[in-house]
A and B are shown apart, each in its own frame.
Chain A
């Protein structure tokens, strides 16, 4: 039977009869021919070739297109689906995507509908950050980096005559390979148990600096390849109960992180300078960096939801957890000469770090009538840091003798920060009339912290929104936001005093570390105001247009130094056109301006200078003005009786970040160039059905990326006097990716 025979318009006369005869004509049968096109499940295999024109492009950073040359386009989607009228409600599916790239995935699912399901998955992801970074280091043994035999040390890169000839390359990249398995099963009608296990291995290299020097005035650093050799295992178990009125869940989560390389030892390429112990410089100077320590997190959660009545629902989740970290401490120094000076050793062999977490999320949701709904919620995030405090007389970056004097600035105490965040929120949504909605919310947030400049911050927030429909085709709304944060007395020296010995603090004029006028932006008084207007227009059933514009401003009104003002403006529009299922198009555009102003005060070193503090000519201000424009458009169309599918997408993203530093006459400042990035991405994909089983797929991905960064561009490894850099540059590339493949499908 042809599809057209079933068109409603053709059946209108028959509907008269049906109106009289139904439901007696409901036979409970349909023809196989009628249904078969719609119930068929196809498996498919894809094979072909692709080509990447250039390596090291920005596009290749995460997409798997990092290397130039030919690659295989390989994929599989094999499915044996449960038939709707079959006796065996089992679906088995094996999917493999991007097998020819280093972002491949293979997943096998087995599900017996209504009973249980299991899965196994293998996944690879690759992130490439810098191709061909450079370093003077060589791996001597695992965890040990050495300098070349003919190394010429100096106190500055200017004197390092062997620097450029010694450089070796390495890629800053991260490869993740994860294996996961899990499943769920129903039991006892309303109960379900589920479990997931995932193990991820991550390796690659980061670029980090091997730094020497005990103070900010005496540093020397050289970038080196720092290996990542991590394994993270995660386990989730949950037992769920659900009926129509109540549901609850008990769950357990465990995450275990292991780093197979806990430390990295490295030689010092710099000759000793004033302020260092002579043994710290080349050729004897060696240092050691701690790499991320093994850690664990276990969490037990209980959650539930109960429909108290048809109009009131209560739900909540409580989770208690524990983070642990107890990796053995590394020594204060690996330099044997410096180590001999140690008179006060480590207070203990490991941190015994522990944070007990309690998180609560409770919510009442009411809908007293069709016009009104409201919620009242409470949220708690409590982190009780039970890590013991110890006294550490540290040796600054493997470059000085231990100073264990009573008033030593090196006598330090670790600060196990506690954190307790509570939020109470009431929100309502009232349909005032058929076409008008009023929304509002009131929220109070209180955060308590330890060892920080402000023990407590309080923030009140108000939100108000009005939305109105003007007929069937236009809806418009406005949202207002106001928030005010304040808190307990601000004392910026709390952390400084707690982290140093009292005897040392007594030697410091004023007893502070940071300038007293500084206000940390996450603790400072802040008033936030924002407005957003939006409209959704549907000129007809085919078109949909949304437009929104908004602005917000943060006023750190009591901050003299630090972030004093911030804000952003946003305009966004989105268009979609979908006249038929064979044909759709969309477009979007956004324009954002992000601004912030920060004030600073240049306070010179070389002893305490009270005259500097009284000098208004040492103030400076940085005005940040970021502008981001993004626009995109795309279309999809089926031709030739749906045998040919075409898709095209274009995105243009353009960002410019300007930093304007102004200062008083005692300081010397000059403009900084803008930081820019511009990307054009064009995707074209076509799929042509050659016959029932075979189709041809072609894809073209073009991307042009341009960026400029004054910290990286034209900056060689020997650019700075006291840091040997990794030769990183910002991306400027153009890349084409072509893929051509055949897809074979079968039922």
Chain B
């Protein structure tokens, strides 16, 4: 009995110290937020208080539900949880985004999409990430000043933590400057459901490439058919061991499609390497090989550019 009384006394004392200190300056918070903050404080392993520095908690924003419902806007009312939380043997929040009591993905994503629907999120349903059961919070961090997924460098870490093949490819000798931070995943892809293949932001692969390489768009008088069709016929956009991000080393790549009489069909090998004398070596192998002469492989608009030499 004495022990019970002392616990009760200490508890009430602590409670009093939290709520009635005369020197404290108080800030109004919406809903039951103050109640939540009694436990979800700065000492949490997953700190939550930075949400007050995020756009989600700008109370004067007429579209943020936090202004009206506070934490419950995303986590549900969670009455039972507020009475006795899960770590103390009680209930988890109604909608829990992390931890052992994480709610199902559909519930989590619906919570986010109550506000974040439309525009670039319009094609989320059925997109690759949705189909694979990913939740918004698998990439995004909400209770923070700056969500790493919204930062171009943090975003690369985020994406490559699952896309391990692409992670390796960006470190290859010939790659877009992703590791240098000059190009980032969302420059090309929309992870929320792109309108193009592989969740590209554009409707087709080539449209995407032309956004930085508009000089290759044409149309040209003398087209190179696979170039017109799809840049990835010859290029590996995430990185290659071959120069110019090519899928195969030239001139052998060219010879996979060009095998006409005379020089296109020649067996090029070490016999074409330079010898001790000058000049020596095969012009089909040394320097830019085929591109020593065929300099306009992406298409030529010169009336004499049939062989893409002009």
Contact = CB atoms under 8 A, between A and B. Distances in A.
Contact of A657 (B21, B41, B242): B242
A630 B168 contact: yes
A394 B267 contact: no
Nearest to B258: A514
B306 interface: yes
Contacts of B121: 247
A304 B228 CA distance: 29
Contact of B310 (A87, A290, A513): A290
A297 B219 contact: no
> Which bucket holds chain B's interface residue count?
35 or more
B10 A15 contact: no
Interface in B155-191: 161, 164-165, 167-168, 171-173, 177, 179-180, 182
A503 interface: no
A17 B12 contact: yes
Interface string A1-28: 1011111101111111111001101111
B182 A38 contact: no
B124 to A, nearest CB: 8
Interface in B1-27: 7-8, 10-12, 14-15, 17-19, 21, 24-27
A39 B143 CA distance: 11
A655 B172 contact: yes
Interface in A442-485: 449, 451-452, 472
A55 interface: no
A590 B168 contact: yes
Contact of A562 (B82, B113, B257, B289): B257
A354 B219 CA distance: 7
A89 interface: yes
Interface string B203-238: 110010011001111111111011011100100000
Interface string B195-208: 11100000110010
Interface stretch (A144-152, A216-224, A691-699): A216-224
Contact of A323 (B41, B218, B269): B218
A375 interface: yes
Contact of A241 (B118, B130, B268, B274): B118
Contacts of A82: 55, 58, 60-61
Contacts of B270: 661, 669-673
B73 interface: no
Given A317-B195, A417-B225, A398 B304 contact: yes
A114 B64 contact: yes
A427 B258 CA distance: 38
B59 interface: yes
B237 to A, nearest CB: 15
Interface residues of A, number: 223
Contacts of A521: 256-257
B43 to A, nearest CB: 5
A263 B266 CA distance: 33
A669 B271 CA distance: 6
B43 A6 contact: yes
Contacts of B43: 3-4, 6-8
A620 B219 contact: no
B213 to A, nearest CB: 9
A387 B222 CA distance: 11
Contacts of B26: 29-32
Given A38-B49, A295-B214, A397 B34 contact: no
Nearest to B77: A23
A361 B29 contact: no
A548 B84 contact: no
Interface string B261-278: 111111111110110001
B310 A415 contact: no
A193 B211 CA distance: 22
Interface in A705-737: 707, 709-712, 714-716, 718-723, 725-726, 728
B32 interface: yes
Interface stretch (A134-142, A232-240, A272-280): A232-240
A170 interface: no
Contact of A39 (B53, B168, B228): B53
Interface string A656-672: 01010101000111111
Contacts of B118: 192, 240-242, 247-249, 305
Contacts of A40: 53
B309 A397 contact: yes
Given A329-B303, A370-B104, A675 B241 contact: yes
Contact of B64 (A10, A113, A361, A449): A113
Contacts of A315: 122-123, 125-126, 193
A179 interface: no
A332 B304 contact: yes
Nearest to B67: A84
B88 A12 contact: yes
A248 B300 CA distance: 40
A238 B61 CA distance: 23
User: Which of the listed residues B64, B125, B307 has the most CB atoms from chain A within 10 Å of its own CB?
Assistant: B125
Contact of A603 (B19, B32, B161, B261): B261
Contacts of A723: 283, 286-287, 292-293
A628 B30 CA distance: 55
Contacts of A710: 273
A61 B124 CA distance: 37
A171 interface: no
B274 A15 contact: no
A387 B35 CA distance: 69
Contacts of B82: 18, 22-23
B244 to A, nearest CB: 10
A71 interface: no
Contacts of B215: 230, 257, 259, 292
B262 A216 contact: yes
Contacts of A383: 228
Given A22-B35, A211-B309, A329-B303, A84 B52 contact: yes
Interface string A549-579: 0000000000001110000001010101000
A387 B122 contact: no
A185 interface: no
Contacts of B47: 38, 581
A462 B245 CA distance: 29
A282 interface: no
B288 interface: yes
Contacts of B261: 603-605, 608
Contacts of B142: none
A654 B260 CA distance: 36
A325 B83 contact: no
A33 interface: yes
Contacts of A661: 267-270
A657 B168 contact: no
User: Which of the listed residues A3, A395, A620 has the most CB atoms from chain B within 10 Å of its own CB?
Assistant: A620
A382 B301 CA distance: 23
B147 interface: no
B267 A669 contact: yes
Interface string A610-642: 000000000010101010101010000000000
Contact of B252 (A23, A88, A592, A659): A659
Contacts of B283: 219, 221, 720-723
Contact of A679 (B62, B173, B225): B173
A121 interface: no
B115 to A, nearest CB: 9
A8 B304 contact: no
B168 A381 contact: no
A351 interface: yes
Contacts of B252: 598, 622, 624, 659
In the A-B complex, the 10 residue pairs with the smallest Cβ-Cβ separation, listed nearest first, are A242-B118, A365-B126, A605-B262, A670-B270, A62-B177, A290-B302, A359-B203, A292-B215, A247-B118, A38-B49
Given A114-B61, A325-B220, 15 more contacts: A13-B11, A35-B27, A82-B58, A158-B279, A211-B309, A217-B262, A242-B117, A255-B217, A257-B215, A288-B310, A305-B125, A323-B217, A323-B218, A514-B260, A601-B265
